[in-house]
Amino acid sequence: MKKYFFVIFLSLIFTASCAFYFPLLEEPYPPEEEYYDDVSVEAAPELDSSYFHDYLNPYGIWVNHRTHGYVWIPHDISYGWRPYTNGHWVWTDYGWTWRSQLVWGWAPFHYGRWGWDRGLGWFWAPGVVWGPGWVTWRSSDIYIGWAPLPPGVAFTAGIGIRRLSFAIPSSSWVFVDGGYFLNRSVHRHIFPVERNVTIINYTVHKTNIYVQNNRVINGGIGIDRVRRITKKNIVKHELRDTNRAGLRRIGSGRLEVYRPKIKKSKAVKPKSVVKRENVQERISRIKTSKPDKKVTPTIIQRRLRDNQKREVTNLERSQQREIRDLKRKVEERKKSARTKAEKQKIDREHKEKASKLKKTHEKEKSQVKTRHKKEVEKAKKKKKDKKETEEEKKKKKKVIKK
């Protein structure tokens, strides 16, 4: 018995002594994905732009764009997808660095530019300069947003990218409540695109990509400002090179990155190129050629409802916060008002602003509701078409057997 208590006593001493050596993590790293093996690796190799063509081919299609040459379009993307949404931001010795959750994310989010085309949707134009994240920023006391730099925005060594000569389209922006900016599931907190115009008017634009000690750095929003908005202690990570493409690990204050040196070659082109007019048909065919039997049309519809419900929740929460923020500012102004007339003036201005904001919010809700209705109708049509296709196949099999 004495031996038993002695073992327990030693265990307690050991546990207490070790408690000081474990860092306090705001979000524990999943061990199977985030374990950081401190083994030295060789730097990524030097390659030409054909490597992009070959690596990305299984995950999308290549198209010859009339302005930007050969561009790539991903075909396996999630609901409401936009560039820089499936992943999260990490503060590193290269500034704000995007860590993608997509296996192909090491390339399109760190080289080249993303553009939007009515006929193609989102497309990626390859580039050869590696960066932590080619985005521009917007922020306020309650919101943080980012948007991909479009093709044509050149990076000049020694100068960087400090300002844009044109406005980024409102639909390109990704906005979240500032408290969720560092969340690893940030895509679950993104506001519907219908909110963007309103939030743009609430925020200040800043582009701050520069070179320091031969490093491309995205200063974006100042770290102190992000600390104030998120109310979190932010750990600075050190980038560590790896020679393997794919998903990258994070932990122990380090973030793995795969960033091979790419030589631009105008002579090379993708082995398979799709004509512009066949893009949507080809993407649809790819998605249906290898269907997941477990994902039935019913499951697809349920997922759609869940995604739409989350969008509405994010929409309503942000609208309610704007109303509270407006009231707070009014109360602060009234406290500093010296006369009754000044307070009455502030109340009239608040009533006018509140009325205008209410109309804006109602318009946003209406736009989201209309889009959701169209998405449901489209999903029902796909379910009906699939059922008819399966019935046709069964009939053909019966005919063949006869």
Task: Say whether both 258 and 327 belong to one domain.
Answer: no
Q: Are 296 and 386 in contact (CB under 8 A)?
A: no
Per-residue pLDDT reduced to its tens digit, 190-229: 999 999 999 999 999 999 999 999 899 999 899 999 999 9
User: How many distinct structural domains can be found in the chain?
Assistant: 2
Task: Say whether both 98 and 194 belong to one domain.
Answer: yes
pLDDT band at residue 41 under the 50/70/90 scheme: very low
- In a domain, residue 16? The reply is no
Per-residue pLDDT reduced to its tens digit, 302-325: 999 999 999 999 999 999 999 999
Task: Say whether both 314 and 205 belong to one domain.
Answer: no
More confident residue, 399 or 184: 184
Per-residue pLDDT reduced to its tens digit, 90-115: 999 999 999 999 999 999 999 999 99
- In a domain, residue 144? The reply is yes
Task: Say whether both 260 and 341 belong to one domain.
Answer: no
Residues 152-163 have a mean pLDDT of: 86
- In a domain, residue 4? The reply is no
Last residue of a domain, one of 250, 284, 318: 284
- In a domain, residue 251? The reply is yes
Rounded to 10 degrees, what is the CA torsion of 362, 364, 368, 371?
Answer: 110
Task: Say whether both 216 and 334 belong to one domain.
Answer: no
Task: Say whether both 122 and 224 belong to one domain.
Answer: yes
Task: Say whether both 235 and 313 belong to one domain.
Answer: no
